[in-house]
Amino acid sequence: MGKVPRVIGFVRNIRLWFAPEEIREEGSTPDYRFSLANERTFLAWLRTALALIGGGFAVDQFLPDLRWGWRVGLAFALLAAGVLCSLRAVNHWVRCERAMRRGEDLPGSRFPAVLSLAVAVVAVAMIVLVFAGWAG
């Protein structure tokens, strides 16, 4: 799939975020248990996003002795990961719902690996800062 069709597909998915009734027009209705499982997965991603956002605020508010650049950088990384995670949640929900209705394979994603690496990088930075005595 080329870049232009992907962009068009993404834009169409954004439209569907706010018009889920249009998803029902595609294919056939899947077993409701699968739709509910898809919704639970969506909610799990939102919980993860909220935890990342909370972590970003915690780093900024509760580590005043941390050098400003480190504190803001770590907080920003966590906040940005939370934003991306929440946007990914709704996009993935729409893509999975459409795939189930069409009888297609569920979409794959590299996002879990990217998110895991981002969180690991922030965690390693925090470990280094703790052992370095907050680098104040």
- Given a contact cutoff of 8 angstroms between Cβ atoms, the answer to whether 102 and 26 are in contact is yes
Max Cα–Cα distance, the chain, nearest Å: 60
**The predicted structure's pLDDT at residue 103:** 95
**The predicted structure's pLDDT at residue 51:** 97
The boundaries of the domain holding residue 10 are 3-135
Of the candidates 32, 37, 11, which has an alpha carbon nearest to the alpha carbon of residue 106? 37
- Token pair in block for residue 56: 């970003």
As for how many domains the chain has, the answer is: 1
Q: Phi/psi class of residue 96: alpha, beta or left (left: φ > 0; alpha: ψ in -120 to 50)?
A: alpha
pTM of the model: 0.83
Count of CB atoms within 10 A of residue 6's CB? 10
**The predicted structure's pLDDT at residue 98:** 92
- Token pair in block for residue 26: 């595609």
**The predicted structure's pLDDT at residue 2:** 66
**The predicted structure's pLDDT at residue 102:** 94
Ordered per-residue pLDDT tens for the chain, 136 residues = 567 777 777 787 888 888 888 888 889 999 999 999 999 999 999 999 999 999 999 999 988 888 899 899 999 999 999 999 999 999 999 999 999 999 999 999 999 999 999 999 999 988 888 788 755 5
**The predicted structure's pLDDT at residue 1:** 53
